[in-house]
Structure 1
Amino acid sequence: MTQRIPMTPAGLEKLREELRHIKEVQRPQNVADIETALGHGDLRENAEYHAAKERQAELAARMAYLESHISLAQVIDPEQTSSDKIAFGATVTLLDTDSEEEIVYKLVGEDESDVKEGKISISAPIARAMLGKEEGDDVSVNLPKGVHEYEIVKVEYKRID
């Protein structure tokens, strides 16, 4: 049985948009680059041609990856989830018990994670430690710098862009 890949509606749309961009913009440009390089003669010493062919392989691999992930997508809309427990799609406010600083994380799929935006992969150590927990629970996370303690302040299910 094939493993489904959890993602938000916005995450699926992002993958579809990247695939469309590769097919409609990058791949045609790459074909033009190959044709231009072919016009430069001897292929054995034609660096432009070899670079364009390498790029062609990279684009093909990325397209295959995107098509696979899109076809295996299990879209989970956080706005349609109602639970007190932390699961995929939750927006979680944590209190760092050492620094007393609040941190907000959104639990998303692998392809959607972006730490700068507070989006962490559901398979990240801190996300795995939070799964199934509720507001008021404590979470211990093993990090490279040692064990870190957090208190779960708030659990919400809302739109993730």
Structure 2
Amino acid sequence: MEYMSQQGYDELVAELNHMIKVELPKVIEAVAEARDKGDLSENFEYHAAKREQGRLLGRIRFKQNILAHARVLDTSQRPADTVQLLSKVTLTNLKTNKQMVYTLASPHEANLREGKISIKSPMAQALLNHKVGETVEVRVPAGLLKLRIEKVEL
């Protein structure tokens, strides 16, 4: 079972619908067009279109599987002062005194550019269930990172 935000769930549904209603008909049309061009054993366009169709169908099945096991997390029932999935956490690196803000998200919603880190990442795992003011140590490739939790938001 995968927990995710309502926004992440809605985006996943929209992406799946786009693949099924827009991309798949285009690929099916490309396969039919290439098939009409003659000998299939030497038809590069046909093989490329079939390969694209297989790739798209695989992506569709993957997204359907995620949605079949997805559960939207109700944030109203959670403690506001503890780091949990979907918490927005402000941290201070104790070595450099730099602040950073991350939101702990499901692996399917993780996007570092948006400040969303996967709940399965080492940093998120180290932060889970800790409270404001606590210091956590995270083992990263560069060594040991000491972080202080400054603020937790839902």
- TM-score bracket for the superposition, by shorter chain length: over 0.9
Residues 32-57 of structure 1: CA distance to partner in whole angstroms, max 9, x if unpaired?
11011112211111111111111111
**What secondary structure is seen at the aligned counterpart in 2 of 1:53?**
helix
Which consecutive segments of 4 or more residues in structure 1 shift more than 3 A? 77-82
Aligned to 1:37: 34
Q: Which of 106, 109, 118 is the aligned partner of 1:121?
A: 118
| Paired letter, 2:91 | L
**What secondary structure is seen at the aligned counterpart in 2 of 1:142?**
strand
**What secondary structure is seen at the aligned counterpart in 2 of 1:149?**
strand
Distance 1:102 1:79, change over 3 A: farther
Shift of 1:14: 1.1
**What secondary structure is seen at the aligned counterpart in 1 of 2:57?**
helix
Structure 2 alignment gaps of length 5 or more:
none
The answer on whether the counterparts of 1:6 and 1:74 sit within 8 Å (CA) in structure 2 is: yes
Q: Which of 63, 85, 88 is the aligned partner of 1:91?
A: 88
When the two structures are superposed, what TM-score results if normalisation uses the length of structure 1? 0.92
When the two structures are superposed, what TM-score results if normalisation uses the length of structure 2? 0.96
Identity %: 35
Structure 1 alignment gaps of length 5 or more:
none
Q: Which of 144, 149, 153 is the aligned partner of 2:150?
A: 153
| Paired letter, 2:100 | I
Aligned to 2:50: 53
The answer on whether the counterparts of 1:77 and 1:89 sit within 8 Å (CA) in structure 2 is: no
Q: RMSD over aligned Cα, in angstroms?
A: 1.1
The worse-fitting range, judged by mean Cα deviation, of 44-53 and 110-119 is 44-53
